[in-house]
């Protein structure tokens, strides 16, 4: 089958909840993907940061295959011999006392919301049914009904109400807005250290540090969503490390499995995750042995191959190369690590389509921003190759 035949089938039989570029990928390795016509492309999206380790990394693949030969799923009705090892790995790498594994990032966010609310009632003493969680404007934490309840993006909410109550919205990056929103019933402040879907928006320096101080002073949990920004994407293991803070809880996903399997988790203290009792929260697939084995291998690759350091160094280089482009179509270049937003003065979609023709795959966000987030295994030479084509497309 050719590209158009696959597209026709997809449009006919699939729900139209995405607007993908019209490339049909059949093979991927490292930073390169190949379509059904045999054309190769440099992947500058990395499945929204899910394949930080590169496509089909051989060490993760080996762990995946070896575990699949033994046991893939037991449910949490029984124990398995991989989950405990993942718990230990996460503790050793991050220092957090406990973790609770789920599947998708949205499930992990829902888990954090439930934990924060129960902590608010059972530990902080908030009156029943009155717990509040503060979120930031322009946030993106997932697509479930509860999560879109605290989104400020109208297209995520339209015709999906009624919405879940108990959330307040403050202006991202504005400390005064946060301070005024905190009340005696505030259980948590949920925030992305860098807003990805909003266009790689970095808050003012010191924002997270002062937010952590406000949370501590008011006995409020600080929960950071590092699903996209974490695990090396921003040039640090976690993006919050730039502010030298210690959140009460961290939400991770995407690159936790290197693209082989949906794996997510909430990392926190015994005080917070200890609020759950058997039967109060769970997932049939969460913490299954295949997921745990894959996650352990994915974390090992990040550390052993120094991909976090690589993201910091090459991200700085990539950003500087983009900043040096002289084009009146560029409004701003911003980013940390290999996570860069190129904001244009006009719609970004035609530029993404033109870049695809030049052999680069990236995607627009918030209409005018092109997001560049290649797998962290990209080389300096491949960045140079990409920049040449980006310059050409911008010139046209």
pLDDT tens digits for range 84-113: 999 999 999 999 999 999 999 999 999 999
Which candidate in 89, 168, 254, 319 is catalytic?
254
Q: Is 207 helix (H, G, I), strand (E, B) or coil?
A: helix
| Residues 6 or more apart whose Cβ sits within 8 Å of residue 333 | 319, 322, 323, 340, 341, 342, 343
pLDDT tens digits for range 61-83: 999 999 999 999 999 999 999 99
| Whether the predicted pLDDT of 327 surpasses 90 | yes
CA distance 372 to 243: 23
Average pLDDT over the chain, rounded to whole?
A: 97
E strand or H helix at 28: strand 25-29
| Overall average pLDDT of the 236-258 stretch | 98
| Overall average pLDDT of the 220-239 stretch | 98
Does 318 qualify as catalytic in the annotation?
no
CA distance 194 to 163: 25
Full set of structural domains in the chain with CATH = 3-56+306-395 (3.90.1150.10), 58-304 (3.40.640.10)
| Residues 6 or more apart whose Cβ sits within 8 Å of residue 266 | 99, 100, 102, 108, 111, 112, 115, 249, 250, 251, 252, 273
Does 254 qualify as catalytic in the annotation?
yes
For the record, the structure tokens of 123 come out as 């530990």
Which candidate in 35, 118, 225, 372 is catalytic?
225
pLDDT of 367: 94
pLDDT of 209: 98
- If pLDDT is split at 50, 70 and 90, which confidence band does 387 have? very high
| Whether the predicted pLDDT of 30 surpasses 90 | yes
pLDDT tens digits for range 341-360: 999 999 999 999 999 999 99
| Whether the predicted pLDDT of 396 surpasses 90 | no
pLDDT of 177: 98
Which candidate in 35, 64, 140, 372 is catalytic?
140
Task: Indicate the burial class of 325 (C-beta count within 10 angstroms; 0-12, 13-18, 19 or more).
Answer: middle
CA-nearest of 265, 338, 264 to 308 is: 338
Does 150 qualify as catalytic in the annotation?
no
pLDDT of 355: 98
Full-prediction pTM beyond 0.85?
yes
How many distinct helices (H) and strands (E) make up the chain?
Answer: 14, 15
Alpha helices (runs of H) in 25-126, residue ranges in sequence order: 46-49, 58-70, 83-94, 105-119
């Amino acid at each position: 089958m050719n590209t158009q035949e696959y597209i026709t089938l997809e449009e006919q039989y699939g729900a139209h909840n995405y607007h993908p570029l019209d490339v049909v990928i059949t093979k991927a390795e490292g930073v390169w993907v190949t379509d059904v016509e045999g054309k190769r492309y440099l992947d500058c999206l990395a499945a929204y940061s899910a394949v930080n380790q590169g496509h089909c990394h051989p060490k993760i693949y080996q762990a995946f295959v070896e575990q699949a030969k033994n046991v893939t799923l037991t449910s949490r009705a029984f124990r398995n011999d991989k989950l405990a090892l993942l718990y230990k790995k996460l503790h050793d790498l991050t220092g957090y006392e406990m973790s609770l594994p789920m599947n998708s990032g949205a499930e992990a966010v829902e888990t954090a919301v439930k934990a924060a609310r129960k902590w608010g009632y059972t530990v902080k003493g908030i009156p029943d049914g009155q717990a509040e969680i503060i979120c930031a404007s322009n946030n993106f934490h997932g697509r479930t009904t509860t999560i879109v309840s605290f989104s400020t993006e109208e297209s995520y909410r339209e015709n999906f109400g009624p919405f879940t109550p108990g959330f307040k919205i403050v202006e991202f990056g504005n400390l005064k807005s946060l301070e005024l929103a905190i009340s005696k019933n505030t259980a948590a402040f949920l925030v992305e250290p860098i807003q990805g879907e909003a266009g790689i928006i970095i808050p003012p320096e010191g924002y997270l540090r002062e937010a952590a101080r406000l949370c501590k002073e008011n006995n409020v949990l600080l929960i950071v969503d590092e699903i996209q920004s974490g695990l090396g994407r921003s040039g640090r293991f976690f993006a919050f490390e730039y502010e030298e803070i210690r959140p009460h809880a961290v939400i991770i996903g995407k690159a936790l499995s290197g693209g082989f399997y949906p794996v997510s988790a909430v990392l926190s203290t015994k005080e917070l995750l200890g609020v759950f009792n058997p039967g109060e929260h769970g997932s049939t697939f969460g913490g299954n042995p295949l997921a745990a084995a894959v996650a352990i291998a994915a974390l090992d690759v990040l550390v052993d191959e120094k991909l976090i350091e690589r993201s910091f160094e090459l991200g700085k280089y990539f950003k500087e190369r983009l900043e040096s482009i002289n084009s009146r179509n560029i409004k701003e270049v911003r980013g940390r690590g290999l996570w860069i937003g190129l904001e244009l003065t006009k719609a970004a979609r035609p530029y993404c389509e033109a870049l695809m023709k030049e052999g680069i795959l990236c995607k627009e966000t918030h209409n005018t921003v092109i997001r560049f987030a290649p797998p962290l295994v990209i080389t300096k030479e491949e960045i140079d190759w990409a920049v040449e084509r980006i310059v050409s497309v911008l010139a046209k």
